[in-house]
Amino acid sequence: MTIPPSAGALAGLKVIDLTRVLGGPYCTMILSDHGAEVIKIEPPQGDETRGWGPPFLDGDASYYLGVNRNKQGIALDLGRPDGRAVLLRLLEDADIVVENFKTGTMEKWGLGYETDLAPRFPRLVHCRVSGFGAEGPLGGLPGYDAILQAMTGLMSINGSKDTGPLRLGTPVVDLATGLYSALGIMMAIHERSVSGRGQYLDMTLHDCGMALLHPQAANFFLNGKRPMPPGNAHPNICPYDKFATATGDIFIAIGNDGQFRKMMELLGQPEVADDPRFLNNGLRLTHRPELTALLAEIFAKHDGKELTLRMLKFGLPAGPVMGVDEAMAAEHTQARGMVVDVGDVRTLGSPIKLSRTPGGPRTRPPRFAEHTDSVLTRHGFSAEELAALEGKGVLYRAKK
């Protein structure tokens, strides 16, 4: 599917992207999807995710390709004063800078927000993505998705009694940090329209991981009990679980008593809804093992996809458990524009659907330093300056 051309809701915003790996690049991809000009500045060795494969396309790993579309790419050694001088010229008309260097690096380089950037660029929004932030017992230490899944309790509530704590299969903390960062940046940009001033965003994997603990945190605050890994079941709702059918697994999520009664009617066993053990959600939770066994016996006789479609049309939350390949090929996925070809790169579409200013993939992820000449020439650098910077080992056209 091709996304209709649109300048995008964020057209006119300029973002300097100093991030690499996932949380930061995911944030800037969201901004670029919706029209912001994003200039990605990589270190001389490149974003390390370029090598996180296979699979590869022309030397770049799928991991990199998946979160860097719509960006322009250059490579600078910011450890050198001349590299930082180039960055400062790029920041002169920038609205946003996003970075995920080790805490204190920007300050060491004379690029700290309060002391250096804000006085020089008062309208600049500076978003820092880090593992733990600068303050607190773990301040300044590095953070990684799986480690934060472990440390925030997310891993402890995934899995089952048999598996014990289990890492989520998707890097949910990195992705959530990217999402929260994009949201925070937009808040700061909106506030700037009133105050005329930029501000600093302190975004951490730790805090964003903690923010995902619902309903487990709410349960713990109320009952003081440590949440345990529930498997596929829900800690507060029943039936809300995976079941086997004659043709594959399905998932049902029955959120209230009316839905439970409707489901038992559809399944041809309305009397189950009148069973004293299952009259309301609290009772169903208490008698979860008996209800689960009864439903397992019923569902095992059905065609899963056919049944869940009937359930959905009857207003009941249910769906087949699908593999990623099946989800990508599904008709609804195609209809919603969630798989898009951009040149030679197939990518996910944007889930943010705006009626007048649609966003989404426009250009493939940049090859290493692909836009060096176009970006720097546009910012006033002459061919002689570019040659001099390259000769000094500040500007790179090939990975170090």
Residue closest to 315 by CA, chosen among 379, 256, 259, 246: 259
- State phi, psi for 373 to the nearest 5 degrees: -65, -45
User: Residues 375, 74: contact at Cβ < 8 Å?
Assistant: yes
| Rounded Cα distance, 360 and 339, in Å | 10
User: Residues 101, 20: contact at Cβ < 8 Å?
Assistant: no
Q: What is the secondary structure of 108-176 as a DSSP string?
A: HTT--IIIIIHHH-TT-EEEEEESS-SSSTTTT----HHHHHHHTSTGGGSEETTTEE---SS-HHHHH
321 CB neighbour count, 10 Å cutoff:
16
Residue 271, classed as helix, strand or coil, is helix
Which residue in the list 77, 95, 145, 174 is annotated as catalytic?
174
249 annotated active-site: no
Residues 6+ apart with CB under 8 A from 330: 322
Q: What token pair was written down for 217?
A: 């945190």
Q: What token pair was written down for 136?
A: 């607190």
Q: What token pair was written down for 173?
A: 């903390």
User: How does DSSP classify residue 52?
Assistant: S
Residue 216, classed as helix, strand or coil, is helix
Name the region of 360 (left: φ>0; alpha: ψ -120 to 50; beta: rest): left
Give the angle subtended at the CA of 46 by the CAs of 57 and 38, to the nearest 5°.
85
| Rounded Cα distance, 393 and 194, in Å | 42
Residue 209, classed as helix, strand or coil, is helix
User: How does DSSP classify residue 49?
Assistant: G
- State phi, psi for 243 to the nearest 5 degrees: -135, 150
Span between the terminal Cα atoms of the chain, in Å = 37
Active site residues: 174
